Structure 1
Amino acid sequence: MLDTLHHIINDLSPYLHHYGLFILALAVAVEGFGIPAPGQSFLIVSGMLAANGEMSLPGVLSVGALAAFGGNCIGYLIGMKFGNVLLEKGWIKAETEQKLHAFIGKYGIAALLMSRFVEGLKQTLCIGCGIAKLPLRTFLLGNALAPLVLVIIFGLGPAQLTHEVGPLVTFYHSHRMLMWGIGSAVVATAVVAILMWQRRRQTA
């Protein structure tokens, strides 16, 4: 795990030193409208560089959140305006569209929160929201929350834990089942809370 982290830092740090927040914004934004990019990895490394005084932490967090929000909005607009074209050209397969519709219909705002943490889904979900004609108000609410969660976990988290990575990895390997249990419980609680809130709104 530490070796992988070192590789990521060594590979991405030169780009951040040379291009700064621009490359971070670009990598995070394009993931919101269908282009695979190492947005989360750039955010993690940016947070770690900020912890060492090499970047501005407020800048990293604000640029990461705004880029995610803007990229997701572009994806939503692409789905709204050009969804039929994407389907006709085969750029989005019919079965993929059906899965996105089902996922969005089932989880709503929670789908937007979860999408940024699932490879493949984070590139297509916002386009799917547009194709599915998810109400703009619902989309904007979910899209306001999702970037905040993203930068807290992948930006602020690494910045706060940069100097604690070694002890944390040791603790994780010693208490792996406990850590997985706590993490699963936190995610499940958040998803259930959002679903309950949505059902209350629908029945109100």
Structure 2
Amino acid sequence: MHIDQWIESVPPIAVYALVGLIIGVESIGIPLPGEIALVTAALMAVKGTVDPWGVALCAIAGAVIGDSIGYAIGRKGGKPLFEKLGRKFPQHFGPDHLATAERSFHKWGMWAVFFGRFIALLRIFAGPLAGALRMPYWKFLTANVLGGVCWAGGTTLLVYKVGKVAEKWLGSFSWIGLVLAVVGGIGSALVLKRRAAAKHEAEPEPSVAEPVAD
């Protein structure tokens, strides 16, 4: 069962906890499909199964708390932690991935944490790497909260609003189609009627034969 199917199968009250948990674990540094979980929950909110504000708040909390835990782990473990993870999970924590993430941190500083929330590769690195590179916690926390609010809240709001518009449009599509079909049918009937009348008027009247004298 895929993560989206799993989320849709649990009771609505559990969706909030699952979304926060999945995003939180991903933010710690464990690769999980947090974005898929968030979008799935937002689509469920479109259907009225869950509340969009509840989804957004749980997602923000999971992102901020998870990143903070990842920061603490990275600060304690340092770079040797990433080297160990790289040997065990090269597809996620390999030297190339680590080098790319480090370059981003050196280039953007604390904003790498903010932008990292929107980039799959940096999302699992942001917290632990910020801690390993000894970024001041207040800088990390500022970027962490801003990134969590913009990513989790923004994604939920965007998916919810777009979903509502699409749902409304699809819901009225059957009525629009019916009206168009009726108008089209009436229009076609009138056109055909006018063409038939014009053709009838253009045809010469049949002549009446005179009687033949005896």
Distance across 2 between alignment mates of 1:155 and 1:33: 21
Matched, 1:130 2:111: no
Distance across 2 between alignment mates of 1:29 and 1:8: 15
Higher relative CO (Cα under 8 Å, sequence separation at least 6) belongs to 1
Q: Does the CA-based 8 Å contact 2:7-2:41 persist in structure 1? A: no
Q: Does the CA-based 8 Å contact 1:15-1:23 persist in structure 2? A: no
Q: Which of 7, 16, 20 is the matching residue for 1:21?
A: 16
Q: Does the CA-based 8 Å contact 1:48-1:158 persist in structure 2? A: yes
Q: Show CA shifts across 1:21-72 (max 9, x none).
A: 1111111101112111121111112122223221122211111101100010
Q: Does the CA-based 8 Å contact 2:23-2:66 persist in structure 1? A: yes
Q: Show CA shifts across 1:153-196 (max 9, x none).
A: 3211111111334899xxxxxxxxxxxxxxxxxxxxxxxxxxxx
The range that moved more, 88-97 or 107-116, is 88-97
Q: Does the CA-based 8 Å contact 2:67-2:127 persist in structure 1? A: yes
- Aligned-residue RMSD, C-alpha: 2.6
Q: Which residue of 2 aligns with 1:175?
A: none
Q: Which of 36, 57, 62 is the matching residue for 1:67?
A: 62
Q: Does the CA-based 8 Å contact 2:28-2:124 persist in structure 1? A: yes
- Aligned AA (2:118): F
Question: What SS does the corresponding residue of 2:30 show, helix, strand or coil?
Answer: coil
- Aligned AA (1:125): A
Q: Which residue of 2 aligns with 1:102?
A: 103
Unpaired runs of at least 5, structure 2: 87-92, 170-214
Map 1:1-204 onto structure 2 (within 5 A).
Answer: 10=5, 12-15=7-10, 17=12, 19-87=14-82, 89-91=84-86, 92-93=93-94, 96-165=97-166
Distance across 1 between alignment mates of 2:162 and 2:99: 40
Cα gap change, 1:52 to 1:87, in 2 (>3 Å): closer
Q: Does the CA-based 8 Å contact 1:16-1:46 persist in structure 2? A: no
Distance across 1 between alignment mates of 2:45 and 2:97: 38
Give the number of the structure whose alpha-carbon radius of gyration is greater: 2
Unpaired runs of at least 5, structure 1: 1-6, 169-204
Q: Which residue of 2 aligns with 1:171?
A: none
The range that moved more, 126-135 or 78-87, is 78-87
Cα gap change, 1:122 to 1:87, in 2 (>3 Å): closer
Identity of aligned residues (%): 25
The range that moved more, 129-138 or 39-48, is 39-48
Say which structure is richer in helix: 1
